[in-house]
A and B are shown apart, each in its own frame.
Chain A
Amino acid sequence: MNTNPDAFENDLRALRRRELPPAWRDDVLSAAKTPPAATRTPRWLIAGWSVAWAAILVMYFTTPAESDTRTRSVRQVPVLRLDERAALIDALLASN
C-alpha cells in the first residue's frame, strides 16, 4: 500500500479548514457544564414522596387485617336472614 502523498494530496492538505465562530465555545461548554435534568429532582418532591411512603407504611401496619371482618360479616348475613324468615313465618302463623 503506497502511503506517500502525491502533489495533489499535498495541495489539498495545505488548504486550511475554517475555525469555529468564537461564540460557539461558550454555547457548547456552558451546555456541557449544565447538570442533566434527570439528576435535578427538587428536594421538596423527594421529601413529599418520603412522607407519603412513610404514611402508607404506618397505615399498613396499624390497620387490622381485613379478612376477619369480612369473615364475620359473611357469617352474619345468613343468621340475619334466618331470623327474618323465622319472624315472617311466626307472623304468618299467628295471623292464621
Chain B
Amino acid sequence: MPAAPTLPELYDAHAAGLFHYFTSFTGEEADAKDLLQEFFIKLARQTIPLGIANMRAWLLRLAHHHAIDWLRKHRVRRRAEEESHAPVEMFAPQDDPDQAELAKHLTQALALLPLEQRSVAQLKLWDGLTFEEIAEVQGIPLNTAASRYRYALDKLRSELRPLYDELKPS
C-alpha cells in the first residue's frame, strides 16, 4: 500500500483549489489565505488515512467544515464586508483578450451568486468533482447539489449572455 502523501505534496497538488474554495466563503484574499494556513496546520496534526480514493474530495470535505466554522465566527463581519469589496481575482491572466474579458466578467458574476451556489459551481467546474462527490463534500443530498449547480449555471449564463454571445463565434 502506498505511503500517505506528505504535507508539501498535498500543498503542491491541492493548495490552489483549496484556496479558491475558501475564497468562495470569505470573499477576501487575506481571509482565504489565513484559512488555508490554519487548514494545513490542522492537517499537520492529524493522521492522513491510507487508501483514500479521491484525495481532492477528501481534502475539500475537511476544508468545507473548516470554512463553515470560520463562517460561524465571522458571519456578521462578512455580511458587512462582502458588498464593499471587489471580488477576489480567481483566474490566471489569459493570453487571449476575449478569454481575459470573459474571465473578468465571470469573476464578477460568481461574486453575485449566493454562497451555496458559488461553492458548488466551483467544485463542479474547476475542481472536477461529480455531483456525488460534491454532495459528500458539503453534506447535502445529491439532488440539492445538482439543483444548486443548475441555478448557478443559469444565473451565470444570464449574467454573461451579452458578452458570451459576442465572443462565441470562436
Q: Which of B61-69, B77-85, B91-99, B111-119 contacts A (4 or more CB under 8 A)?
A: B91-99
Whether B131 sits at the interface, judged by CB under 8 Å, is: yes
Which residues of B have CB within 8 Å of A13?
125-126
Interface string of B106-124 (1 = CB under 8 A from A): 1000000000000000000
Interface string of B22-60 (1 = CB under 8 A from A): 000000000001001100110111000000000000000
- Residue of A12, A16, A29 contacting most chain B CB atoms (<10 Å): A12
B12 CB, nearest partner CB in chain A, Å? 8
Which residues of B have CB within 8 Å of A18?
16, 89-93
Whether A57 sits at the interface, judged by CB under 8 Å, is: no
Which residues of A have CB within 8 Å of B153?
8-9
A18: nearest chain-B partner, CB-CB: B92
Interface string of A12-33 (1 = CB under 8 A from B): 1111111110001101110111
List the interface of chain A (C-beta within 8 A of B): 1, 3, 8-9, 11-20, 24-25, 27-29, 31-34, 36
List the interface of chain B (C-beta within 8 A of A): 7-8, 11-12, 15-17, 19-20, 33, 36-37, 40-41, 43-45, 89-94, 99, 102-103, 106, 125-126, 130-131, 146, 153, 156-157, 164
